[in-house]
Amino acid sequence: MSLRVISMDAMGRFVASSRSEYRVVGPKPLHGQYIFGDVESPDDLHLNYTQTVIPPKKYLFPQREELLRFKSGDGEIEPVFDAPPTILLGLHTCDLHAIRLLDRVFSSGHVDQHYRRRRDNTLVISIECLRPCSRHSFCKSMGTLSATDAFDLHLTDLGAEYTVDVGSEAGEALLAKHAKTRRATDDDYQRLNTALAQKWPHFPYRLDFDVSELPSLMRTSYNSPLWKDLGERCLACGSCTNVCPTCYCFNVQDEVDFALSAGRRVRIWDSCQLDEFATIAGGHNFRKTRAERQRHRFLRKGQYQTDAFGLLGCVGCGRCAQACLAHITPVDTFNTLHHERSGGAARPKGGAA
């Protein structure tokens, strides 16, 4: 829409002012790592962070969420919505791409009202990544190193100032009400272009093939011997999916009170990597082995999501590779499959410095 410029100081005042209307969450340091948490003052702003443990999806799709309350006597059912007006501040572009996918998933077919309510009450302010955040990230290979259309405002750090790309009317209104900005000049455009041009060489391509080939690669890799190897290494701990910005599987449980007269229905994050995930009534488990579950995970990332929603299920953030004690990484997995298909040898990169 338009490009504005905001100073670092004005950015702090913008956060302070927005807090009168919104819960503002952004990256914060915790024990040497970063997590998304409440930004309570401008001093809490750490927009030059590396990567958070869990992606910001936890504000749109919480780990544990009450869906409804019921009474057993008269059968009364009340939906529960807890969707405070929220600003997600400082999202990296991988996480922005992930939200774009979640938007499609939760809004297609049977619309998820709980996700939708939160999303509609959320403004997303993303930030351009100028340096790689982790040795495991491979956003450039996945095409997620630039912003996509899911943002309301998008920042680029120019040193003493940020440019602010306005992506929506809601974003524009937020700026107008809470921030002191100025219209970008030709010089600002020039500085922005320079910053963007300079950033790309800092990011390595880590896939040995073009990402547009990924869905077709996965389609022919169902019987690869690689899955057995991954199955032998996988601890089935679910860390990969719990830190994944695009994973959204959940379990639904009813919790009743001691008098058995009323209760609540909650959903909690689940993981396709856990033993019991695909166990159905009668006790049959249709993905019993860790190998089958890892295969399922990677096929979802590389093929199923594209088939169903037109977007890849992996945004290249590398969080799963960082979290995996057994060093199972998407880069190594995808490259190994590529080289199996093309006859070459894969060069391990997933754990490379």
Positions touching another protein (CB under 8 A) are 30-33, 35, 52-54, 63, 232-239, 242-243, 255-260, 269, 271, 274-276, 290, 323, 325-326
- As measured in angstroms, the least distance from the Cβ of 86 to another protein is 18
Q: Residue type at 251?
A: N
A 10 A CB-CB count for 130 gives 16
- 129 vs 243, which CB is nearer to another protein? 243
- 109 vs 283, which CB is nearer to another protein? 283
Residues 6 or more apart whose CB falls under 8 angstroms from that of 62 comprise none
- 63 vs 194, which CB is nearer to another protein? 63
For every residue of 141-199, which 3-state class applies, written as one string?
Answer: HHCCCCCCCCCCEEEEECCCEEEEEECCHHHHHHHHHHCCCEECCHHHHHHHHHHHHHH
- 283 vs 310, which CB is nearer to another protein? 283
- As measured in angstroms, the least distance from the Cβ of 249 to another protein is 13
Round to whole Å and give the CA distance between 170 and 114: 21
Asked if 284 and 204 touch (Cβ cutoff 8 Å), the reply is no
- 274 vs 308, which CB is nearer to another protein? 274
| Direct distance between the N- and C-terminal alpha carbons of the chain, in angstroms, rounded to an integer | 39
Q: At what angle do helices 226-233 and 330-342 cross, to 10 degrees?
A: 160
- As measured in angstroms, the least distance from the Cβ of 223 to another protein is 23
- 252 vs 256, which CB is nearer to another protein? 256
Round to whole Å and give the CA distance between 271 and 323: 14
Question: Where are the extended beta strands (E) located within the chain?
Answer: 2-7, 23-30, 33-38, 64-71, 77-79, 86-91, 122-127, 153-157, 161-166, 182-183, 250-256, 262-269
- 242 vs 305, which CB is nearer to another protein? 242
- As measured in angstroms, the least distance from the Cβ of 255 to another protein is 7
- As measured in angstroms, the least distance from the Cβ of 88 to another protein is 16
- As measured in angstroms, the least distance from the Cβ of 236 to another protein is 6
- As measured in angstroms, the least distance from the Cβ of 78 to another protein is 20
